[in-house]
Amino acid sequence: MTATRAAGVPVVEDGALVSTNPATGEEVGRFPVADADDVARAVARARDAAQWWVGLGHAGRKARLLRWRALLAQRVEEVAALVSREGGKPVAEAIVETAAAIDHIDWAARNAKRVLGPRRVRGRLTLAEFSAHLEYQPMGVVGVIGPWNYPVVTPLGSVAYALAAGNTVVLKPSEYTPAVGQWLADTFAEIVPEQPVFQVVQGMGEVGAALCHAGVDKVAFTGSTATGKKVMATCAETLTPVLIEAGGKDALIVDDDADIAAAAEACVWGALTNAGQTCLAIERVYAVAPVYDAFVDEVVRRASALKVGYGEGYDIGPITMPKQIDVIRRHIDDALTRGGRAVLGGREAVEPPYVRPTILVDVPEESAAVREETFGPTLTITKVADLDEAVRLTNATSYGLGAAVFGKRRAVAAARRLRTGMASVNSVITFIGMSSLPFGGVGDSGFGRTHGDDGLREFSRAKAITTRRGPSALKSTTFERTPAQVARITKAIKMFYGRPRR
């Protein structure tokens, strides 16, 4: 049975998921759609493979992950071209994305043993006869549900850390970017052909739901807040733990001592890269009054120079999900209807499958363009009286993924006050590429962390072990204790804890 095709819209034809270029309609690939039984079998294979993967130890896994990293680095142009064909983003942006993913594989492989390996920890007074040890053990099989907007770096932010921690992985790529997900698993299989350590299951949303039901030991999801809630509800039925990286409405604060040219350059890239289809995109700016006009002028000048189209020489590609264009159009219309002004772009900027850069000012805070995730190449810039007002408005949404502050004297202090999981000072979105730092948000942006030490522990179970070293000086863990021994415990507690000390 053949379904009607529209450029960029995934369809199922004769049991195969068909992926097409959102700009040209070119077919990029077709992949067998998994049903619930197929997903269950993939998870069963992954569970069998887990014993072998764990048995390699940290050194064995590290060696294989570093070989995979090298293969991806050697073939970076290949995967970047595929990302561009399937999602529409410029090849240069796809290379930057892949470079960040490669760095994450490297960091996870090199640091897993340090973060997760067995260690002795300090004991406590009442159990002085015991030594204490801590280690982190693999969870088993991790299900990863990936997004379409960054189909390399985002899923690998979970996949690489889960693999380094000793888990096997089943990835359900977005139905908009199945070819990229398959390419990642296929290249891993070139390095690790012995066992199905990293597999892919293809299909629409019901395949993701089947993965949640398939008995995996954890689900890592990246996508919209609404879908994240559905994933949580599904996983709650089996008490399957989840990591949720959901939407964002990131803001940029420009203080009165900021470098305006640098702030505008960063803002334009942070707002418009990947056509604004970034959970970390700068969608709001709060600029203090003394620098507001100069900042707006500089942003408009830089954004006006960007070229929109598909192929070589263009800065901004098509909107990958055609239905997102309706959301972008609604946000622009709502902002203008409420009294906002378009100093660049506007209603006429929406020309499917493209949306040209749109900069909006004087937009009320209650408008959709300020309150809801737009996921398009639009930006609101608001004049504020001072830094305190900028921080207050930045924190006024339900989202809390990332944010940025440009300034000198007070920028770091302001960044600490933001209700976000991440913040950058005098840059934007840099935390995504910093492998040593945890990545994740608060509020409607989700919970849990990928990347860094926390990202490795996210896919592990803490295992605590106590070992008796000798006889008990303070017999606290027995019914055989005597009144004299209880008195000795009381005396020790008062002696060591009964007065304030540093």
Alpha carbon of residue 74 to chain centroid: 25
Pairing of strands 378-384, 282-288: parallel
267 is catalytic: no
Q: Which residues of 414-430 are buried (b: 16+ CB within 10 A; e: fewer)?
A: bbebbbbbbbbbbebbb
Write the secondary structure of 419-461 as one string of H (helix), E (strand) and C (coil).
Answer: CCCCCEECCCCHHHHCCCCCECCEECCEECCECHHHHHHHCEE
Give me 143's structure tokens: 């299900």
User: Residue 215, by phi and psi: left (phi above 0), alpha (psi -120 to 50) or beta?
Assistant: left
Helix or strand (DSSP H, E) at 323: none
Minimal CA–CA distance to 292: which of 242, 322, 321, 254? Answer: 254
Give me 31's structure tokens: 């992949």
279 is catalytic: yes
Give me 266's structure tokens: 């960063």
Q: Please tell me which residue in 245, 372, 373, 458 is annotated as part of the active site.
A: 245
Alpha carbon of residue 207 to chain centroid: 21
Minimal CA–CA distance to 365: which of 226, 224, 249? Answer: 249
Compute the distance between CA of residue 482 and CA of residue 448 in angstroms, rounded to an integer.
47
Compute the distance between CA of residue 170 and CA of residue 45 in angstroms, rounded to an integer.
10
Pairing of strands 358-361, 403-406: unpaired
**Helices in 31-75 by DSSP H: which ranges?**
36-55, 57-74
Beta-carbon contacts of residue 423 (< 8 Å; ≥ 6 apart) = 402, 403, 404, 405, 415, 416, 431
Beta bridge partners of 465: 133
Q: Please tell me which residue in 212, 235, 267, 279 is annotated as part of the active site.
A: 279
Report the half-sphere exposure of 23 (CA within 13 A, side-chain side). Answer: 19
The string of DSSP letters for 225-272 reads HHHHHHHHHHHHTTT--EEEE----EEEEE-TTS-HHHHHHHHHHHHH
Task: State whether the Cα torsion 363-364-365-369 is positive or negative.
Answer: negative
Minimal CA–CA distance to 53: which of 172, 169, 211? Answer: 169
Please identify every residue annotated as catalytic: 245, 279
